[in-house]
Structure 1
Amino acid sequence: MAKVWGLTGSIGMGKSAVAKMLRREGVPVFDADAEVHKLQGPNGALIPAIETRFPGTTGPEGVNRAKLGAAVFGHPQELKALEAIVHPAVQRSRADFLRRNRARRLVVLDIPLLFEGRGKYRLDGIIVVTAPGWKQRARVLRRPGMTPARFKHIRHLQTPDAEKRRRADYIIDTGTTFERTRAQVRRLVTCLHAKGGR
């Protein structure tokens, strides 16, 4: 049975880059965000339910993220309604992923809101991706449509980076060069394979 590790990190910390590095090292990674994009994309399985609950937020290209975001951003009840549609579907996809990869030594679940969410995960450990605050801010503010106010609000909603690092089994620091980050990932994979015992 595969060892299951959770990968998380606050916005702009470089988690997606680390997930790609893990895949290059041969580790299967389940990307919850990518799964949501697929489910909400063109002909996505969740489009009918989202359109019924949030009329006018979908089209031929799938969910219109700006419209759906406007419908739920700052509205806790609406956000809960959306989560009630999305979360069960992602959980089913994750269960399928774990079944397909049960013979592997280890797998990683990329879970952006591991500490903030209400999901229950059976994990063998947690990997936290981190970077200095100034670098996080610079990365996030380069994103289209991002503003300092929105970034501040997102940070307020997320568990502080220091707390995530305190609760981590392993930490990957992306505040350094790409090569040094990749070296950290390679060392981590070697260590996790050794822990797997196979």
Structure 2
Amino acid sequence: MTKIVGLTGGIGSGKTMVANFFKEEGIPVYISDERAKIIMDKPEVIQKIQEIFDENVQKEGKLNRKRIREIVFKESHLLEKLNAIVHPAVKKDFKQWVDLHQKYSFVIKESALLFEQKLYKTCDYIILVTAPEEIRVKRVVKRDGVTAESIRDIIRNQLKDEDKIPFCDWVIINVDKELVKKEIKNIIEDINLRNNSI
């Protein structure tokens, strides 16, 4: 039975880098956000999403994500409706993906909202990626060219790491790339040991 390892972390924590390190080690990784974007480009999903908005949220046959973000940021009831379309579709897509990777003892499910969407309850193990706030802010400012204050706003609105830690099996403090790589090798070993002892 393939085990599901949840991988999460707040903005700027470096969870994408950690996910890529797992890929380099030959572990299948499901990036929830990437898959959600693919799903949201399907014509039947575009149609369902369009139906919840009063204005046209399409651009050249695809969803105008920027406009959708602007609307749902102000109208939370529309965000709930949007999530009610996208989340079940991603859940179904993930199940199909796991079925394709049955020969692996475990797979990684990367999701920024693992706790917010209660997805952690469907995981066998959980890894949290964290880093000091100043480092996180600097990373995102450099990556996205946004203001430090806007990043701090996002961090304040995200669930705090200390609230997630009690539910996690491993916490990766991402400040040194080489140390993180070593830690990932140890985690893989640890997961395999746990799986074999079950």
Q: 1:165 to 1:44 in 2, by over 3 A?
A: farther
Aligned partners of 1:147, 1:45: CA distance in 2, in Å? Answer: 37
Q: How many residues align?
A: 196
Q: Which structure: greater helix fraction?
A: 2
After TM superposition, which residue ranges in structure 1, 4 or more long, deviate above 3 angstroms?
Answer: 118-121, 143-150
Q: 1:39 to 1:68 in 2, by over 3 A?
A: same
Percentage of pairs with the same residue? 29
Larger mean CA deviation between 90-99 and 46-55 belongs to: 46-55
CA positional deviation for 1:167: 2.7
Larger mean CA deviation between 135-144 and 78-87 belongs to: 135-144
Structure 2 counterpart of 1:140? 140
Q: 1:1-12 residue pairs with structure 2 within 5 A?
A: 1-12=1-12
Structure 2 counterpart of 1:94? 94
8 A Cα contact 2:129 2:174, kept in partner: yes
Query: Which blocks of at least 5 consecutive residues in structure 1 are unaligned?
Result: none
3-state SS of 1:142 partner: helix
Structure 2 counterpart of 1:50? 49
3-state SS of 2:68 partner: helix
Give me the CA root mean square deviation. Answer: 2.1
Aligned partners of 1:140, 1:87: CA distance in 2, in Å? Answer: 26
Q: 1:45-124 residue pairs with structure 2 within 5 A?
A: 45-54=44-53, 55-60=55-60, 62-119=62-119, 121-124=121-124
Aligned partners of 2:110, 2:39: CA distance in 1, in Å? Answer: 16
3-state SS of 2:144 partner: coil
Q: 1:137-176 residue pairs with structure 2 within 5 A?
A: 137-144=137-144, 146-176=146-176
Aligned partners of 2:46, 2:63: CA distance in 1, in Å? Answer: 7
Q: 1:78 to 1:150 in 2, by over 3 A?
A: farther
Larger mean CA deviation between 57-66 and 128-137 belongs to: 57-66
CA positional deviation for 1:117: 1.6
What TM-score, normalized to structure 1? 0.89
3-state SS of 1:30 partner: strand
Deviations along 1:36-75, whole A, 9 cap, x unmatched? 111224x555222222223322223622221111010132
Aligned partners of 2:196, 2:120: CA distance in 1, in Å? Answer: 25
